[in-house]
Structure 1
Amino acid sequence: MADLQYTPIEEIEKIHASLQAGFKSGRARDIKYRKHQLLQLAYLLKDNKDRFNQAAGLDLGRSYPENEILEHYVSLEQIKYTFDNFEKWTKPESAEFSIYFGARPQIRKEPKGVVLIFVPFNYPIMLLMSPLAGAIAAGNTICVKVSELLPATSSLLAELFPKYLDQDLYRIVNGDIPVSTKLLELPWDHILYTGSGRVGKIVAAAAAKHLTPVTLELGGKCPTIVDPRVNLKVAAKRILWGRTSNAGQTCVAPDYVLIPKNGEEAFINALKEAYREFYPNGTTEPGNIARLPNHGSFDRVKGLLDDTKGTIILGGETDREAKYIAPTIVKNVGPEDSLMKDEIFAPILPIITVGDFDEAIEFINARDHPLALYIFTDDSKLKEKVFSNTRSGSCVCNEVVLQIPTPGLPFGGFGASGNGGYHTGKYSFDLFTHQRSTLTMPNWMEVALASRYPPFSSRKSKLVETLSSPSFPPRDSVYNPRGWGKWVVGFLTLGASILWTQRKNLTAH
């Protein structure tokens, strides 16, 4: 596969202008043409599955089966769902009934315009195809910047885009920091960035100069609370899978475990059993565990392991030349440990013991809001307590990561983990859609609306009050249940008295 060719800096403005012209042409707004381009996008993946699997192996050391499970089939499902449903999403919505019903108030679904999507290295196909499908369905023209850490995948996308998609409407740009910087100097109608919080701040600051709306998906440290009473064998398998898939380079992967001290030993034994089941011949065999994208990432993760004060109980092996970090479990990890400073983004799972679940909740709430929060428990009250007393992008019980491909759920962060939501079907469509309010006021409503004109009078004021002033229940009716209670008791007493009187009269006769 050819070396990655960066897009020349001087071409960036020309691409931007071409996409603006493409949007003004109106071709991207045609429903049938959108459907055609979505179908082309699907076949771009289907026709080249083996080539994308090969590229993932070259870039990330990811095996074909893992790549198909994590990216290929999920992406196709997202495109298919959008293809099947987006036409109805484009229909105008009528506003709720009001005194302005005669004006036929509606919400039109219109494309935002020319949008920019930054795609990270860890899931370059899934995190491209989902928002790209939504942006196409919404009628936008689109510029895509794929991570330069993926030369094979980025080169393949640059080759295939012109063969399958309309280049007047959808373009791939490749390059490193200077290319990204040039892109951010230009005015866009929306920017979607997925990556680190450090770069997210740069993107947001650049977008602010043009008042460009921005959606940020930034990750963070996703906590996992484990109730020792749960099926620990199942919990350990799911947590270990979520932590080690794609070499732990998943923004919603469980980043650390919080467990009461009395359950730690049993949970560690369950992790060891799952570890042996996952890697019966060891983890170094090709395809068993993906690799990190470059030596800089390896050195960062190796430094975390070297500096930890915790005890490595499984894994710990590393190979810089191969950019390999073994799946690693670390216990006796403290709140200030090197593994707890930032998102690990590698197949390393720290275990932190707590006194009880209240302490676990306090631990989570003392830190930035995570992109995902997990709890493993069969206690519905404990689940509700965690859900209700924490804040996160998503909150999942007895599973990890699978909230991402689940249809009908938005994917988005909160606070330091990002803002906005997209990813599944309509949420990506909505992200790149402007909901435009419309009214068409008929002349016959002038009778009802004439009171707004001067000269003003008490008669006009009274008419406006009659038409527009809302009524409320008594001020104490919500917080003082006795206000209604006395009436309920009164009516029940009255009803009982009437029934007793009627029964007495019948008996007398």
Structure 2
Amino acid sequence: MMPNTPLSEISVIRDALRTSFRKGLARPIEWRRHQLFQLARMMQENAEAFAEALTEDLGKPKLESYSFEIGAILERSLIGAQRLDDWAKPIPVDSPDWQKPLKPTVYKAAKGTVLIIAPWNYPLVLGLQPLIGAIAAGCCAVLKPSEISPHSSALLAELFPKYLNPDAYRVVLGAIPETTKLLELQWDHIFYTGNARIARLISVAAAEHLTPLTLELGGKSPVIVDPSFNINLAAKRILWAKSQNCGQLCVAPDYVVIPRTSQEAFISALKEWYTEFFPEGSMESSSISRIVSPAHHERLMDLLNRSKGEVVFGGHTEGSTKIEVTVLKDVPADDSFMEGEIFGLFLPIVPVDNIEDAIEFVRNREHPLVIYVFTEDPKLKQQMLDETMSGGIVFNDLVQQLGFNELPFGGVGQSGYGRQISKYTFDSFSYERASIDVSSEMEQFNAVRYPPFNDEKFALMSGAVFLPIPASS
């Protein structure tokens, strides 16, 4: 295991990256493209090592590691390299004819030297996906991976200088002291993925330097089940999504809201699919990961012990990192499981009288990262779009939205702000720089702006005040 980065080195690393940025190291498009290809090579040539690290840290099945982490970063690195010219090209602005000679243009400029703070639950994709955008935008970057996933973090620190230019991209290892030191420094953008409690601390630190932020948080992403939908299919998809990474996923279904007349049918379907997915039991299955640490296990068991809901299956635990997939019914609105994001294998079911009550239940809570709705009713779909707020909304499936390279991903309100994935991450680490180019020949048209003013100049310069305003319908 690699040692933590010495506190005394952190400001030295930041200063060196700032010098590299100011010298224009990361500016050339072909240089950026090469770094993106190198990132792809790093994932491909060390896939087995990354998979082993993820197993050590989280007990992740190899299938999950290859598909949701290693493969995702490799693919998106290549997409960034392939589309970089289009993302970074200057954009001519369509303006009135008299302004066209000024060549109004918007340039995509790199923000500078940036800090990426990644979580432990998806240590590769949630650290390197923002890095793809930073590289593509022409930034220099420090990646601070989580100390809670030490094997993955150490491997990233080991491999970075072998594949990426260390004058532009560095890894800082450590825990609270190292993160605190990083946040004392000025950065040109901070990209944080994690929980709202830490995000508040980061926001305070960033405000000291007026540093812009992207906050990718989580929250309680609800599932609304319309009883007219195929309950068996809804149960299958919900149980699969809940079991991903042992429920430790920011877009995991946090709780289910369903009309009480359909609650038992839904539970029956969940039981059937649980037996199908995990015939040996979820704690013995090699197709599911584990709780990341004893501390998180203790937190989850505390939620279970305080819950007023009825456990309908699961609830058993083994050791300090294993908990059965657990479903609870008749969970009240003030239950322990409704206090905050669960981030584990518990699925509380909140029964309501009807779909309107389900919508109101969701509306009365903080805006989630995503709302899941199982319905074929187009009116209900439109109602959900019109009457609720969330970072995203998914109809009739879960988690699959993460696989779209063309869709923005991010939250709203308590679930965060800013967007990522492919071009959206590039946009997060760049800014729109407006430009005009006024030739000397334009001076003949500028005479009207210079003193001394007179009635003729006033008539020409005040024309906008007298534009006709159409009557509204």
TM-score range, shorter chain: over 0.9
Selected match of 2:22 from 17, 20, 24 = 24
Distance 1:471 1:236, change over 3 A: farther
Secondary structure of 1:143 counterpart: strand
Amino acid at match of 1:70: F
Q: In 2, Cα distance between the equivalents of 1:133 and 1:208?
A: 25
Match of 1:156 in 2: 155
CA drift at 1:289: 2.0
Aligned residue number for residue 146 of structure 1: 145
Name the structure 1 match of 2:46: 48
**Distance (whole Å) between structure 1 residues aligned to residue 451 and residue 54 of structure 2:** 70
Q: Say which of 90, 93, 96 aligns to 1:92.
A: 90
| AA partner of residue 197 (structure 1) | A
In structure 1, the residue matched to 2:449 is 452
For 2:353 and 2:451, the matched residues in 1 are separated by 70
Amino acid at match of 1:384: Q
**What is the CA deviation profile of residues 162-186 of structure 1, one whole-angstrom value per residue up to 9, with x for unaligned ones?**
1111100000000000000000000
Give the structure 1 partner of residue 326 of structure 2.
328
Q: Is 1:474 the counterpart of 2:470 in the alignment?
A: yes
DSSP 3-state at the match of 2:127? helix
The reply to whether residue 440 of structure 1 matches residue 437 of structure 2 is yes
Query: How far 1:473 moved relative to its partner?
Result: 4.3
1:464 counterpart letter in structure 2: M
Summarize deviations over 1:419-440 as a string: whole Å, max 9, x none: 1111x21001111012111011
- TM-score normalised to the size of structure 1? 0.90
CA contact (8 A) 1:228 1:267 kept: no
Q: How does 1:71-470 map to 2 (within 5 A)?
A: 71-98=69-96, 99-321=98-320, 323-422=321-420, 424-466=421-463, 468-469=464-465
Moved more, 393-402 or 94-103: 94-103
- How far is the alpha carbon of 1:70 from its aligned partner? 2.0
Q: Which runs of 4+ in 1 moved over 6 A?
A: none
2: distance between equivalents of 1:400 and 1:302? 25
Q: Secondary structure at the match of 1:254?
A: coil
Q: Contact (CA 8 Å) 1:79, 1:129: kept in 2 or not?
A: no
| Structure 1 position 451, deviation (Å) | 2.3
> Which letter does structure 1 place at the counterpart of 2:388?
T
1-structure distance, mates of 2:285, 2:377: 40
The SS at the match of 2:347 is strand
Distance 1:184 1:470 in 2: 52
Provide the secondary structure at the position in 2 that maps to 1:187: coil
The residue number in structure 2 matching 1:495 is: none
Q: What do you get for the CA RMSD once the two structures are aligned? A: 1.3
Answer yes or no: is the 8 Å Cα contact 1:298–1:320 preserved in 2: no
The 8 Å contact of residues 329 and 351 in structure 1, kept in 2 or not, is answered as: yes
Please say if residues 411 and 417 of structure 2, whose CA atoms lie closer than 8 Å, have aligned partners that are also in contact. Answer: yes
Q: For 2:265 and 2:385, how far apart are their aligned partners in 1? A: 25
Deviation of 1:472 (Å): 4.6
Distance 2:314 2:201 in 1: 36
Deviation at 1:351, TM superposition (A): 0.4
Amino acid at match of 1:449: N
Out of 261-270 and 50-59, give the one that drifted further.
Answer: 261-270
Identity percentage of aligned residues: 45
Shift of 1:212: 0.5
Separation of aligned partners in 2, 1:433 and 1:237: 41
Q: Tell me how far 1:287 sits from its aligned partner.
A: 2.2
Matched to 2:434, the amino acid is: S
Please give the secondary structure, in 1, of the residue aligned with 2:222.
Answer: strand
Paired residue secondary structure (1:403): helix
Instruction: Give the residue type in structure 1 aligned to 2:262.
Output: G
In structure 2, what residue type is equivalent to 1:372?
V
So what's the TM-score if we normalise by structure 2?
Answer: 0.97
What CA deviation, in whole Å up to 9, does each residue of 1:445-487 have, x standing for no partner?
A: 3343332222222221221244x45845433x32xxxxxxxxx
| Aligned residues of 2:105 and 2:435 also touching (Cα < 8 A) | yes
Q: Report SS of the residue matched to 2:26.
A: helix
**CA displacement at 1:97 relative to structure 2:** 1.5
Instruction: Write the distance in 1 (CA, Å) between the matches of 2:283 and 2:250.
Output: 24
Alpha-carbon distance in 1 for matches of 2:468, 2:360: 39
| Deviation (angstroms), 1:90 | 0.9
Cα distance in 2 for residues equivalent to 1:280 and 1:375? 28
Secondary structure in 2 matching 1:351? strand
Report the residue type matching 2:197 in the other structure: R
CA contact (8 A) 1:239 1:254 kept: yes
User: Is 2:113–2:141's contact at 8 Å kept on the other side of the alignment?
Assistant: yes
